[in-house]
Structure 1
Amino acid sequence: AAADMIVVVGCSTGGPPALDLLLSPLPADFPWPILVAQHMPASFTGPLARRLDRLCAVTVVEVTRPMAILPGHVYIGKGDADMIVSLRPEGPVVMATPSLPEFRWHPSVDRLVTTALQHLGAERLIGVLMTGMGNDGAVTMTRLRKEGGRTIAEAEETAIVWGMPGELVKAGGAQVVTPVDAIADRLLAWAS
């Protein structure tokens, strides 16, 4: 059911202002958890999560240990590590894990989406790929869409760097392409 959806977000260069625009319109009772892989060093993700938590009605936390995935909560992957979804008897959790060398950028969007697909299934997922150089997330979010999930790519006109979302669009993996300041509205429309 729509009640069980989880939003998976990837961003890199230009990501923090994009996250402001994505998260600040969402109400405290937004029904879905949001998992964010923002490429960053470890010393930056804690301050980013704290700043977003002050700015937004939703609760924003940095993932430094296994945490239950709750509605109205945003989970920022710890920098210089990867964030993965895992299943516990009490339900899905998100956790930080040492980065793997086969993924080039960290926290890896591809690794996060791969583990979300493995444990939750595509029909429970909405992938959002925003500004960033390179292609992290494009292949796995294309797979997410093919397997029955929904995807949103940030439009070129608002992206600081249209690398990651551009690759998703080129691969045919973007169901919706929209300016960054309209992504929250799309999520809210789907959630209502």
Structure 2
Amino acid sequence: MPWPVVIAQHMPGSFTGAFAQRLDRLCALEVVEVTAPVPLAAGRVYIGRGDADVVIERRLGRLAVATVPSDPALRWHPSVDRLVRSARDHLPPEALIGVELTGMGDDGAAALAALRAAGGRTIAEAESSAVVFGMPAELIRLGGATLTLPARSIPAQLVGWLS
């Protein structure tokens, strides 16, 4: 994977560390929970700490991922909307790919639709594989999905776009 992967998974803080450790054991890529600011590295997966928000920022001239206190104006944490907006603050849209997977509500849909409108690429998980179709359905409804794919097809599409 030639790019870093940053994940905002709606989970309590007591679960994200164990979740990252489990994924690290199962995945070919290194998976870590973000507990302090760390420079982004290609081929590494960063899971935002629960009960906080995960953002992209610039530190000492390099892109980094960090956790920040959750924004009370946002309903879910870590917030997908806040992550995507922070990434757009530091990177051109064509350098970003957003993926909206299964979940309740609409977190991420507006920010990812804006990303697509600006020239970024987005994927919404298809209803056929989503356990809860709320979040990807909202992205599709807003016209923000470049592609709609079942979960099993998303990794190959990402690799194809990044090759």
Separation of aligned partners in 2, 1:165 and 1:101:
23
Q: How many residues align?
A: 163
Per-residue deviation at 1:144? 0.3
What is aligned with 1:27? none
SS of the residue corresponding to residue 8 of structure 2 reads strand
Separation of aligned partners in 2, 1:80 and 1:117:
22
**AA matched with 1:71:** A
Per-residue deviation at 1:123? 1.4
Separation of aligned partners in 1, 2:88 and 2:123:
16
- Could you state the TM-score of these two structures normalised by the residue count of structure 1? 0.84
What is aligned with 2:30? 59
Per-residue deviation at 1:90? 3.4
Separation of aligned partners in 1, 2:73 and 2:82:
10
What is aligned with 1:75? 46
What is aligned with 2:79? 108
SS of the residue corresponding to residue 57 of structure 1 reads coil
**AA matched with 2:70:** S
What is aligned with 2:93? 122
Query: Once superposed, what is the RMSD of the aligned Cα atoms?
Result: 0.6
Tell me, which stretches of 5 or more residues in structure 2 are unaligned?
A: none
Greater RCO structure (CA 8 Å; 6+ sep): 1
What is aligned with 1:154? 125
What is aligned with 2:11? 40
Separation of aligned partners in 1, 2:148 and 2:84:
19
Tell me, which stretches of 5 or more residues in structure 1 are unaligned?
A: 1-29
Picking from 45, 56, 59, the partner of 1:85 is 56
Picking from 136, 148, 157, the partner of 1:177 is 148
Query: In percent, how many aligned pairs have the same letter?
Result: 56
Per-residue deviation at 1:106? 0.2
1:133 aligns with 2:104: yes
Picking from 147, 151, 163, the partner of 2:134 is 163
Separation of aligned partners in 2, 1:125 and 1:191:
11
Deviation readout 1:44-70 (Å, 9 max, x if unpaired): 000000000000110100000001110
